[in-house]
Amino acid sequence: MALKALDIYKLLPKKNCKECGDPTCLTFAMKLAGGKTDVDLCPYMDDAAKAVLSATTRPPIRLVKLGIGERSFAVGEEFVLYRHEKTFYHPPGIMFKIADTSTPEEILAVTVRVRDESFTRVGTELRFNGIAIENTSGSPEHFARAIETIEKTADLPLVLMASDPLALSAALTFCGTYRPLIHAATPENYKEFCAIAKQHGCPLVIKGKSVIELAQLSKDCTTEGVQDLIMDLSPESFQEFIVRSTTIRQLAITREAPDLGYPVFLDASVMEMQDAAITLGISKYASVIISTPLPSATAQAALTLRQNIYTDPQKPIQMNPGLYRVGNPGKNAPVLMTVNFSLTFFTLQGYLESTRLPCFMLIVDTEGLSVLTAVAAGKLSEVLVRDSIKKFDVENEVSHRKLIIPGYASPLSGRIEEATGWKVMVGPRDAAEIGEFLHEEWKQ
Amino acid sequence: MAYDLHFDWSSSITEVMLGATKAEGGTRRLSYRIGGGTTLPFLETTQGSSAPLIAFEICDNPQYWSPIVRNYCGDLVNDCGEWAKTADSGYGSDMIRLYLTSTRQRNFSDIPSVGKTVESVLSNTSLPLIIEGSNEPKIDSEVFLKCGEAGQGERLLLGTAEAGRYRSIAAAAMAYNHSVIAQSPIDVNLAKQLNILLKEIGLSRDHIIIDPYTGSLGYGFEYSYSAMERIRFSALKGDTDLAMPIICSAVDTLTVKEIREAGPAIQDDIAVQWEFTTGLAAAIAGSEIICVRHPKTIPLLRKAFASLKSGKNTIGGQ
Ligand code: B12
Ligand code: SF4
């Protein structure tokens, strides 16, 4: 049951000492009510109040941070079962797995790839998030050496996959202060693993053969003092994953089973179809996904799906309306009108850049709708185009009066001409043909 | 404590029959009963519910088809009977979806050829069929009637009804006892409205499949995914006007920028991966018929569905 800010306030020390980082106890209470701060930040709270508050105010799924620095990422803190109810906030980290028996060259190659590879979609750089290194050799030295190779090359979040505490300790001498994720504590070894995780302040994966076992294990590990937990459901089939993962998400967000309020880990590389497992993990609540280094065909699809599922469908990614330049356009350069949906903007911009003809892009405010969608919804009108030309001072930027509109906006061409006094040229429907079109039709 | 999922669903998805065997008055070697789900996809704990169906899409005028598929399938694309036969015995699909792209030619009027094409596909495969009729309101009525007639007794699935044009197709379906695909642009309320329109002119609920429109991966899939989830959710909550099985056809997938511009060495792989990823995610969101255009996507989906229907669905002891 969530508490209201005022109920929370009643339980606070009311010293208004600001030590929690908030100006007053009341503002701290308001933040707690929204799950936006942590009870532990107030040093003066009595234990009874703390017990009540931490159970009810922390986010239903704990936020767990992996790595440090620029490439670190946080997972958890999700609130819904369906993305349309709100949105999903923290996209899963996808990390490439390598065995410590690989050659240093192989390890280096994967590290460099994860460090450098990025794939830009809709103006956003999509990347893989880190490296999982497995102690396949069984030797602590091998494991440590592999970690050393990675650490010398990149500051990437790591997952240390080992069952031998000695191997972990050896590896942690190289990366212990960089918050690697340790995989995995089990009912048999959790005390030792917790001690190591606690010593280095690392998040810890707990691995259980059932939901019951995981709930018990999380209780045991928090008792040992490790709070940053991630749960490996060790599924044997996709169905087992989807059932367990959905169960855990539901029981966590309703706060019926606070012991399950942790992000989920999925090792896709041990599932029979890795690609499918990744798709499943992205769609159904996995927060850390491990896979072998993916071929580029799979890599793009996986990153695009992740971007899609973690985009809020209620708010399309938008550009600020305005006059944008491609290259260094002069007074005679063409002006191409389009909508402020990011996908449309970046698609058109990409093709315009490859034509190498400097030009202007006039971006009008269709509230983030694509061309066809905006036309169908009546969000793209001659009045909008006329006002945008005025507002962004296009008349002073160019000496001609010609406007190229998207092919799909052709039903509006007459009305735009009338409203603006500009000559309208209807461009192709597909932006891929814009180069050819400009080449043939744009003669100044 | 028992760690169980608990939803307070009150309804189930309506069952729809596709195809008809000899015993059922048709000539198909098998027929499918889809729908019947009582919870979210793949959470069903009882055995026996079937995996989503995979439909392979073909057409009778390949000029309108992706060059990737044309290259891969070779000469088959020029003979839709042979193509259908290969989709059945070679590619291993569950259904064939025939697009009568020939009707898209300007001033198309050769209606008898439509009947012949449908008959040739019916005789070349004994799988249940989906037929996509005309794209042009002026010839809709004749084309759909011809399809309906040619497939009489076979319980075809006819496509595609939209809010502005659903009468001809519904009439053909009702006359010959076929089912209809009802497509609306990625919106739960529009899907519902169209189903109500179809109901009002007499098409029964168990003859409708919802197509919420699948935007391709990276080009609208984020909306389609949620539209599918919401339709399933509303259906289970008791909205009978949305309680029909869903079909997913990501028709634009093979033409998105990432695939069109991929190098020849990798283009097939990328196309398959994007189609596969979209189809699998759509199935997770609630689609029960997944349409594909690349033959290599079929075995991948098949294998993934098997694992999603493994029956190993315990949450792991109490
Ligand atoms: C995703 C989507 C949505 C999303 C919105 C996405 C968004 N931000 O716009 C949602 C679900 C919200 C939506 C809603 C609707 N949609 Co919608 N939607 C789509 C879908 C699947 C993809 C659109 C997209 O993202 N395209 C990609 C972008 C990049 O395309 P684009 O902007 O057109 O840009 C291309 C070209 O136009 C060109 N181009 C762009 N700018 C320029 C400029 C110049 C100068 C040139 C030369 C070229 C050029 O280059 C780009 C690449 O080639 C399309 C189907 C489709 N395949 O197009 C339907 C579609 C556009 N939607 C449709 C409809 C009817 C609607 C609704 C009106 C339905 C309704 N009543 O609710 C609403 C309207 C919106 C509203 N009122 O809120 C119909 C339109 C029918 C028509 N032909 O008019 C479509 C075609 C679906 C269909 N087949 O029925 N939709
Ligand atoms: S630290 Fe505690 S007592 Fe001090 S202002 Fe914050 S909530 Fe109040």
pLDDT in tens, A330-343: 999 999 999 999 88
A279 within 8 A of A302, measured Cβ to Cβ: yes
Average pLDDT score over chain B: 92
Q: Is the CB of A344 under 6 A from ligand 1?
A: yes
Is position A314 within any domain?
Answer: no
Q: Is A362 found in the same domain as A393?
A: yes
- The single residue listed with the structure tokens 């319980």 is B155
Q: Is A374 found in the same domain as A267?
A: no
CA B5 from centre of chain: 30
> How far apart, in Å, do the first and last CA atoms of chain B sit?
8
SS3 state of residue A194: helix
Taking only residues 120 to 139 of chain B, the set having a beta carbon closer than 8 angstroms to any beta carbon of chain A reads none
Percent of chain B with pLDDT over 70: 96
Residue B114 has a pLDDT of 92
Distance between CA A395 and CA B182 in Å, rounded?
A: 47
Outline where DSSP puts E strands in A237-331: 264-267, 286-291, 322-326
Is position A93 within any domain?
Answer: yes
B138 within 8 A of B152, measured Cβ to Cβ: no
Burial class (CB in 10 A: 0-12, 13-18, 19+), A151: middle
Residue B47 has pLDDT above 70, yes or no: no
* CATH assignment at residue A273: 3.20.20.20
Closest CA in chain B for residue A304: B218
- Which residues, including other chains, have CB under 8 Å from residue B283's CB and lie 6 or more apart? B41, B52, B248, B290, B301, B305, B308
Residue A30 has a pLDDT of 87
Of A36-50, A98-112, A281-295, least confident by mean pLDDT is A36-50
Q: Is A351 found in the same domain as A216?
A: no
Q: Whose CA is nearest to atom 7 of ligand 2?
A: A25
Is position A317 within any domain?
Answer: no
Residues counted in chain B: 318
What is the architecture of the domain spanning B17-33+42-310?
Alpha-Beta Barrel (3.20)
Which pTM was predicted? 0.90
Burial class (CB in 10 A: 0-12, 13-18, 19+), B207: buried
For the CA atoms of chain B, what is the radius of gyration?
19
Outline where DSSP puts E strands in A306-396: 322-326, 335-339, 359-364
Q: Which residue has the higher pLDDT, A229 or B107?
A: A229
DSSP category for residue B220? B
Q: For every residue of B135-154, which 3-state class applies, written as one string?
A: CCHHHHHHHHHHHHHHCCCC
**pLDDT per residue over A335-371, tens digit each?**
999 999 988 998 899 899 988 899 999 999 999 999 9
A242 within 8 A of B308, measured Cβ to Cβ: yes
Contact A276 B303 (CB under 8 A): yes
Q: Is A118 found in the same domain as A41?
A: no
Residue B318 has pLDDT above 60, yes or no: no
Residue A122 has a pLDDT of 85
Distance between CA B39 and CA B55 in Å, rounded?
A: 24
Q: What is the mean pLDDT of residues A239-263?
A: 93
Please give the structure tokens belonging to residue B71: 């290259």
Residue B317 has a pLDDT of 40
- Which residues, including other chains, have CB under 8 Å from residue B187's CB and lie 6 or more apart? B212, B227
* CATH assignment at residue A416: 3.40.50.11600
Q: What is the mean pLDDT of residues A130-136?
A: 97
DSSP category for residue A90? S
* CATH assignment at residue A41: 1.10.15.40
**pLDDT per residue over B213-261, tens digit each?**
999 998 989 999 999 999 999 999 999 999 999 999 988 889 888 898 8
A220 within 8 A of A190, measured Cβ to Cβ: yes
Taking only residues 22 to 51 of chain B, the set having a beta carbon closer than 8 angstroms to any beta carbon of chain A reads 40, 42-43, 45
Question: What sign does the dihedral A414-A415-A418-A424 (CA atoms) show?
Answer: negative
Residue A270 Cα distances to A244, A408, B38, B124, angstroms: 17, 47, 31, 41
B104 within 8 A of B64, measured Cβ to Cβ: yes
**pLDDT per residue over A390-435, tens digit each?**
999 999 999 999 999 999 999 999 999 999 999 999 999 989 899 9
Is position A114 within any domain?
Answer: yes
Q: Band the pLDDT of B315: cuts 50, 70, 90.
A: low
Distance between CA B318 and CA B315 in Å, rounded?
A: 8
Q: How far is the CA of A2 from the centre of ligand 2 (A)?
A: 20
Q: What is the mean pLDDT of residues B53-68?
A: 95
Q: Is A68 found in the same domain as A53?
A: no
**pLDDT per residue over A42-85, tens digit each?**
889 888 888 777 777 778 899 999 999 999 999 999 989 999 88
Contact A246 B40 (CB under 8 A): yes
Residue A38 has a pLDDT of 79
Contact B3 A347 (CB under 8 A): no
Q: Is A49 found in the same domain as A145?
A: no
Residue A384 has a pLDDT of 96
Q: Is A176 found in the same domain as A229?
A: yes
Q: What is the ipTM of this complex?
A: 0.93
Say how many domains are in chain A. 3
Residue A177 has a pLDDT of 87
Residue B316 has a pLDDT of 47
Q: Is A190 found in the same domain as A160?
A: yes
Q: Is A94 found in the same domain as A31?
A: no
Q: Is A152 found in the same domain as A93?
A: yes
- What single letter denotes the amino acid at residue B12? S
Q: What is the mean pLDDT of residues A11-35?
A: 87
**pLDDT per residue over A167-184, tens digit each?**
999 999 988 889 999 999
Q: Is A134 found in the same domain as A212?
A: yes
Nearest to A273 among B233, B303, B313 (CB): B303
Q: Is the CB of A202 under 6 A from ligand 1?
A: no
Q: Band the pLDDT of A444: cuts 50, 70, 90.
A: low
Q: Which residue has the higher pLDDT, B180 or A6?
A: B180
Is position A430 within any domain?
Answer: yes
Give me the domain span that covers residue A47: 5-57
Residue A295 has a pLDDT of 94
Distance between CA A131 and CA A175 in Å, rounded?
A: 13
Shortest CA gap A109–chain B (Å) = 21
Residue B268 has pLDDT above 90, yes or no: yes
A380 within 8 A of A409, measured Cβ to Cβ: yes
Burial A57-94 (b: 16+ CB within 10 A, else e): bbbbbbbbebbeeebbbebbbbeebebbeebbbbbbbb
SS3 state of residue A335: strand
Residue B48 has a pLDDT of 63
Distance between CA B19 and CA B94 in Å, rounded?
A: 11
Distance between CA A14 and CA A10 in Å, rounded?
A: 8
Strand bridging mode A229-232 / A264-267: parallel
Burial class (CB in 10 A: 0-12, 13-18, 19+), A389: buried
Number of alpha helices (DSSP H) and beta strands (DSSP E) in chain B:
10, 10
Q: What is the mean pLDDT of residues B276-287?
A: 97
Q: Band the pLDDT of A142: cuts 50, 70, 90.
A: very high
Contact B273 A300 (CB under 8 A): yes
Shortest CA gap A212–chain B (Å) = 7
Distance between CA A168 and CA A185 in Å, rounded?
A: 12
Average pLDDT score over chain A: 92
A346 within 8 A of B219, measured Cβ to Cβ: no
A318 within 8 A of A339, measured Cβ to Cβ: no
Q: How many CA atoms lie within 13 A of A72 on its CB side?
A: 16
Q: What is the mean pLDDT of residues B65-91?
A: 95
Residue A201 has pLDDT above 50, yes or no: yes
Residue A1 has pLDDT above 60, yes or no: no
Q: Is A337 found in the same domain as A305?
A: no
